[in-house]
Structure 1
Amino acid sequence: MRISRTLTPEDRAGNLYFDVPFELGRCESLEVLLDYDRSRAVIDLGCMGPDGWRGWSGGAKKRFVISRTAASTGYCSGELEAGVWKVVLGLHQIPAEGVTVELTINTPATGGVEAEPSAPSPVSTVPASRRRNLPAAAGMRWLAGDCHAHSLHSDGSLSLRQLAGEAARNGLDFLAVTDHNTVSHYPHLQGVGHEYGIALLPGQEVTTVRGHANAYGRIDWVDFRCHPDAWLDQVEGEGGFLSINHPVAADCSWQWQLSRKPSHAEIMHETWLPNRRDTSIWAWLSAWGEPVIPLGGGDFHRLEDGHPTGLPTTWVQSAEPTEEGLLAALKTGPTALSMGIDAPLLLRVDGELLALDAEGTILVDFEGRRQLIRDSYAAIDTQGAGPYRLETSDRRILALTT
């Protein structure tokens, strides 16, 4: 089946998501190919079956395959129910003169699912929680991770095994895999994480042109085409938690109005790395007006970007590095953020604020009070309000906690 559509700015003004329906009988496999002039437009690709969402690859793919037993990364395998299916096109960028889109739909598929790249062998590493002897509450330890990463299941360049190997080599205890608008990676996380000795946490980055949010936990797919109020209700109703991603980040900044606010926000993000002096996030925190549990996310996509997993680092107290324990700890806090697993730290332990390996830095509270940290282990007499941050003498931010 071949379908041709000319999409215009008027289509985009009417709805950012354009459905192309087609009838599917009983079959073993389905293949969809998307073709348009990529020098003039940016169009995302997804699919919905009669019984629900089957996957999303955004602008990363121009072809996908779904069969009963396998599917392209970003898409969910399973029974191909008869009825009306839809190719979902995200109209991210449409030129003034419009663009012609050609869809080819093959049943059965003319080819198979893409082969997974060769994965690295597991290596013996010492995770951050064992490398640093950090004070913690009784029966607990501080675990280090990254709350934002992408794989081939969306627009990342690494397979899940490659991503797990990279994060383990960097000394992380956990990594949240937050592929865009899909849950196709969920079934593989525990097995791959066990293989590489790292906890891979389930997440999905709910992605729109007005802002992104990470939904954490083994929850159902979140419909990014709905208002974020619905995201929050669903995620919390299913026992997960929602975090506003990179709220101050150029055209990916948060622009939605919410009837109530999530408990979490990605306060440290890779866009902060170049100089770490940008305090616009503090203005955002002030405007937010409610306490927030801070998370750090490297937003890893590919090695050549130069932003490794674990930069920045999110620390959380848990008895063991299990998916259940880590998600529960991240959900309730407290958390601590640092610029790497060996960097200076601010930790909350039994109600006390501690600055660790931070001699010569400056502690700044939310009201602007400042004090010099003179020792490698310092208990802080907090008079002003949090969140608190550690800075260098030239105002480069090193660590943060509430």
Structure 2
Amino acid sequence: MLKWIPAELHTHTLHSDGKQTLEELVQSAVDLGLECIAMTDHNTQSALADQERVQRQFGLPIISGMEWTTFYGHMLTLGVDRFIDWRVLGPDDIDEGIRQVHEQGGIAGIAHPFRIGSPICTGCFWEYTIQDWHEVDYIEVWSTLMPSIKRDSQRAFAMWTDLLNQGYRITAVSGRDWHVSKPDDALPAVTYLGVHDEAEEREGLAGRAVEAIRHGSVSVTMGPLLTMWAQIKGREHRYHIGEYIELTVEDSLSVTVQLDVEARASHYNLKPQNLRLLLTSSHGICSEIQVPAHTGEYTLSLQDPLGKGWIRAELYGCMEDCVMMIAFTNPIYMA
């Protein structure tokens, strides 16, 4: 059984260029209803010296991580608690760095690939040459506050979709790039991680969170939680986000999408309205319905055979006086 954990995967403290201690960061995360964070200071893991103490103090799991901050791009590494020297890597051999991250059991993701670069933010724009995109675990497609309406995030989302269409299985996440907390902050996105529920155990949750990203069990939102599963007609087995379905030409697929506006409801404002719920695939939009802005479950039958590829759910509507993509799931894959 999956449990969906709201998380923040890109954070900074005073140990790099943040304006908050680890305790202040975690307190802010708790106040926002988050249940897990990743500690990703620039080129240092020194803040993790207090990891166990702070986890016990607040009861919030902290994923060990670091943001490789270079002249050619920023790469987030999660699940690694030993320093890997990125300084020896040039623009054409980042794959070797990713290999070393995997060797230690961690995952590697591209941070804000289309953020403005030099001279405003040296290295923020991704310029590394990826030799094998199969080795990239995830991409931060939504970055900073109110990411859904920002052009650099929209470009990153389009890049991720193009990579999916090329046959790569890469997880999409959001990242606040959290340096400071202010009472008048704009709305952040949240990454929900589908972890296997083990009797509500907090111990080991950070490791299960990393595995969720590795396997694509992820949903991203500006507010409400959007999830889905698929079933082949006549069979009971459910295929969840991040999983593969083996389809034949005779198979008919139904997809059930769940919208939960009660999760973290006090931390965003979703006004009464009709929302657009889309099922998008590698062949384009394959289904679209209007749904009310309250918790519900919607099952859609897909008549046309989809063949190989992927399918995901997307939710559109108005938040913060802006018409935007409100949420999206990672894909269910079809082989």
* TM-score, with structure 1 as normaliser: 0.59
**Separation in 1, partners of 2:172, 2:130:** 18
- Whether the 8 Å contact between 1:206 and 1:222 is mirrored in structure 2 is no
The equivalent of 1:331 in structure 2 is 214
1:259 equivalent to 2:159? Answer no
Contact kept in structure 2, 1:276 and 1:396, CA below 8 Å: no
* Aligned with 2:98 (options 204, 229, 232): 232
Note the 1:266-305 alignment, pairs <5 A.
266-270=140-144, 273=147, 275=149, 279-288=154-163, 289=166, 290-304=168-182
Counterpart AA for 1:285:
W
Structure 1's 353 and 214: CA in aligned 2 closer, same or farther, altered over 3 A? farther
Pair 326,283 (structure 1): closer, same or farther in 2 beyond 3 Å: closer
| 1:364 CA displacement | 4.8
CA deviation after TM superposition for structure 1 residue 214, in Å: 0.6
Instruction: Name the counterpart of 1:365.
Output: 280
Moved more, 282-291 or 185-194: 282-291
Residue in structure 1 matched with residue 257 of structure 2 by the alignment: 354
For 1:3-402, what aligned pairs fall within 5 Å after superposition? 137=1, 140-225=2-87, 226=89, 227-251=93-117, 252-261=124-133, 262-270=136-144, 273=147, 275=149, 279-288=154-163, 289=166, 290-304=168-182, 307=185, 311-319=189-197, 320-321=201-202, 322-340=205-223, 343-348=224-229, 350-351=238-239, 352-357=255-260, 360-366=275-281, 367-369=283-285, 370-374=287-291, 376-381=296-301, 385-392=310-317, 396-401=324-329, 402=331
Which deviations, in whole Å up to 9, do the C-alpha atoms of 1:55-99 show, x marking residues without a partner?
xxxxxxxxxxxxxxxxxxxxxxxxxxxxxxxxxxxxxxxxxxxxx
Say if 1:194 and 1:353 are closer, same or farther in 2 by CA, change over 3 A.
farther
How far apart are residue 323 of structure 1 and its match?
A: 2.0
The one-letter amino acid paired with 1:346 is: T
What's the Cα RMSD here? 2.7
Change (3 A) 1:380 1:297: farther
> Secondary structure of 1:365's partner?
strand
Contact 1:182 1:204 in 2 (8 A): yes
Q: How far apart, CA to CA, are the structure 2 residues paired with 1:162 and 1:308?
A: 19
2: CA distance, partners of 1:212 / 1:178: 11
Secondary structure (helix, strand or coil) at the match of 2:227 reads: strand
Contact 2:228 2:257 in 1 (8 A): yes
- Look at both structures and tell me which one has the larger radius of gyration over its CA atoms: 1
Query: Distance between the aligned counterparts of 1:310 and 1:190, measured in 2?
Result: 26
1:270 positional shift: 1.5
Decide whether the 8 Å contact of 1:158 with 1:302 is kept in 2: yes
Instruction: Work out the CA distance in 2 between the residues paired with 1:306 and 1:210.
Output: 33
Cα distance between partner residues in 1 of 2:187 and 2:194 = 16
Instruction: Please give the alpha-carbon distance, in whole angstroms, between the structure 2 residues aligned to 1:315 and 1:309.
Output: 19
Comparing both chains, which one has the higher relative contact order based on Cα–Cα distances under 8 Å and sequence gaps of 6 or more? 2
Greater percentage in helix: 2
- 1:360-401: CA deviations, max 9, x gaps? 223151444150243622134456643432122775111111
In structure 1, the gaps of 5 or more residues are 1-136
1:297 partner amino acid: G
Aligned counterparts of 1:153 and 1:306: Cα–Cα separation in 2:
24
CA contact (8 A) 1:298 1:308 kept: no
Q: State whether residues 268 and 312 of structure 1, in contact with CA within 8 Å, keep that contact through their aligned partners in structure 2.
A: no
Q: Sort the Cα spacing of 1:219 and 1:175 in 2 relative to 1 into closer, same or farther, 3 A.
A: same
Return closer, same or farther for 1:325/1:346 CA change in 2, 3 Å cut-off.
closer
Provide closer, same or farther for how the CA distance between residues 353 and 191 of structure 1 changes in structure 2, counting only shifts above 3 A.
farther
Equivalenced residues, count = 262
Q: What amino acid sits opposite 1:246 in the alignment?
A: H
1:354/1:377 contact within 8 Å kept: yes
Tell which deviates more after alignment, 359-368 or 205-214.
359-368
CA deviation string 1:13-40 (max 9, x = no partner): xxxxxxxxxxxxxxxxxxxxxxxxxxxx
CA-CA distance at 1:338 after TM superposition: 0.8
Partner of 2:249: none
Deviation of residue 304 (structure 1)? 3.9
2:265 alignment counterpart: none
Q: What percentage of residue pairs aligned between the two structures are identical?
A: 23
Structure 1 residue 306: Cα displacement:
5.4
Please list every run of 5 or more consecutive structure 2 residues that lacks an aligned counterpart in the other structure: 118-123, 231-237, 240-254, 262-273
Instruction: Give how far 1:279 is off.
Output: 3.3
After superposition, the C-alpha distances for 1:228-255 in whole angstroms (9 at most, x for unaligned) are 2122011101111101111222222321
CA distance in 2, matches of 1:265, 1:143: 19
SS in 1 for 2:177: coil
